[in-house]
Amino acid sequence: MIAELFAWWRTDCLPAARRLGYRREAAALVVRHRRLGRHWADHLARTRAALLTSARQATRARDAPKRAWIMGAGLLHDVPLDQLLDCFERIDLVDVSFAPAAHDAARRYPGRVACVMQDVTGLIADPLRDPRDATPPLPDDAWCASVNLLSQLPLLPCDALLQQGLAEPEVERRGRALQHAHVEALQKAAHACLIIEYAQTHPPPGPADMILLPGLPERLGASGWRQHDSWHWPLNPRGETELPEGRAMQAWSR
Ligand SMILES: C[S@@+](CC[C@H](N)C(=O)[O-])C[C@H]1O[C@@H](n2cnc3c(N)ncnc32)[C@H](O)[C@@H]1O
């Protein structure tokens, strides 16, 4: 509790996002990352490796981007910043919340690394907006990455909609539309990487996997994306919660 309070105090957050609970969520993630470091190490290493594979592939293209736009990077747990600086002249870390590590990196590399405080859905200030109109466009000259973010995007805006009295099926429809708009925005980038939590898993004899993003791999495969890695993330290992659970992860690039 005290650790979370301290992490909360050190986390910088967009005011509208703070009202929906993002600062609290970011602080909780920082503390869990510290507590579960041993269990999460492989997942974080695989995420970093997938980002590097995608970035290096972009640098080999004829229109190689000089800039990286990395969404969900404000805590800097899973971004191989130093190696990515060998690939790009400038790296924008995009998030609604920033841990001190991200600000320290921006100070360490002035003019090369920046913290961009932006809501990538455009819905946090007004969750009732249409996601297709609200999503801010991505820079068209950058390698754009979305890092373990897609399943998180609808959670707090959808909570806010439920609290406003919207019916659950309508809230679910809006959550899916918001995720669709995020993938559509990435689809327009010249080079992109998308790392997703595809399914919720339970060790045997637990319940069957629950698909979190039904149909998405098929849609990505049909629109020019290539899956280049998959792995398992023991998100809540045995002892952490009553029913241990994990995530089936996938890394895609185009
Ligand atoms: C589950 S974390 C992803 C893991 C993260 N890359 C790390 O370093 O641990 C989700 C991140 O996305 C950010 N985020 C969630 N919704 C966002 C939004 N609408 N716009 C920008 N960032 C968002 C959160 O603040 C958080 O830092």
pLDDT value at position 152? 94
The one-digit pLDDT tens for each residue of the chain (254 residues) are: 787 887 777 889 999 999 999 999 998 898 899 898 899 999 999 999 999 999 999 999 999 999 999 999 999 999 999 999 999 999 999 999 999 999 999 999 999 999 999 999 999 999 999 999 999 999 999 999 999 999 999 999 999 999 999 999 999 999 999 999 999 999 999 999 999 999 999 988 888 899 999 999 999 999 999 999 999 999 988 877 777 789 999 999 99
- Going from N- to C-terminal start, the domains of the chain cover 35-253
The single-letter DSSP state of residue 238 is B
Taken in order 57, 62, 67, 69, is the CA torsion positive or negative? negative
CA 202 to chain centroid, in Å, comes to 22
Tell me which residue of 70, 58, 3 sits closest to 36, measured CA to CA: 3
pLDDT value at position 219? 97
**Helix (H, G, I), strand (E, B), or coil: what is residue 243?**
coil
* CA distance linking residue 108 with residue 104, whole number of Å: 6
CATH code for the domain defined by 35-253:
3.40.50
pLDDT value at position 156? 97
Residue to mutate, 33, 48, 75, 174, ligand 1, most ligand atoms under 8 Å from C-beta: 75
pLDDT value at position 2? 82
pLDDT value at position 50? 98
Query: How many degrees, rounded to 5, is the angle at CA 12 between CA 114 and CA 118?
Result: 55
User: In sequence order, what are the beta bridge partners of 97?
Assistant: 13
pLDDT value at position 206? 80
Tell me which residue of 133, 131, 249, 143 sits closest to 197, measured CA to CA: 249
pLDDT value at position 1? 74
Residue entry with tokens 């998959």: 230
**pTM score:** 0.96
CB 73 within 8 A of CB 84: no
CB 212 within 8 A of CB 151: yes
Is any ligand 1 atom within 6 A of the Cβ of residue 197?
no
Is any ligand 1 atom within 6 A of the Cβ of residue 147?
yes
pLDDT value at position 168? 97
CA-nearest residue for atom 4, ligand 1, is 148
Residue to mutate, 76, 149, 151, ligand 1, most ligand atoms under 8 Å from C-beta: 149
CA 52 to chain centroid, in Å, comes to 16
pLDDT value at position 122? 96
* CA distance linking residue 39 with residue 216, whole number of Å: 27
* CA distance linking residue 232 with residue 246, whole number of Å: 7
CA atoms within 13 A of residue 190's CA, in its CB half-sphere: 19
pLDDT value at position 110? 97
Query: How many degrees, rounded to 5, is the angle at CA 249 between CA 192 and CA 41?
Result: 100
Tokens read off for 89: 């002249």
Is any ligand 1 atom within 6 A of the Cβ of residue 149?
yes
CB 40 within 8 A of CB 234: yes
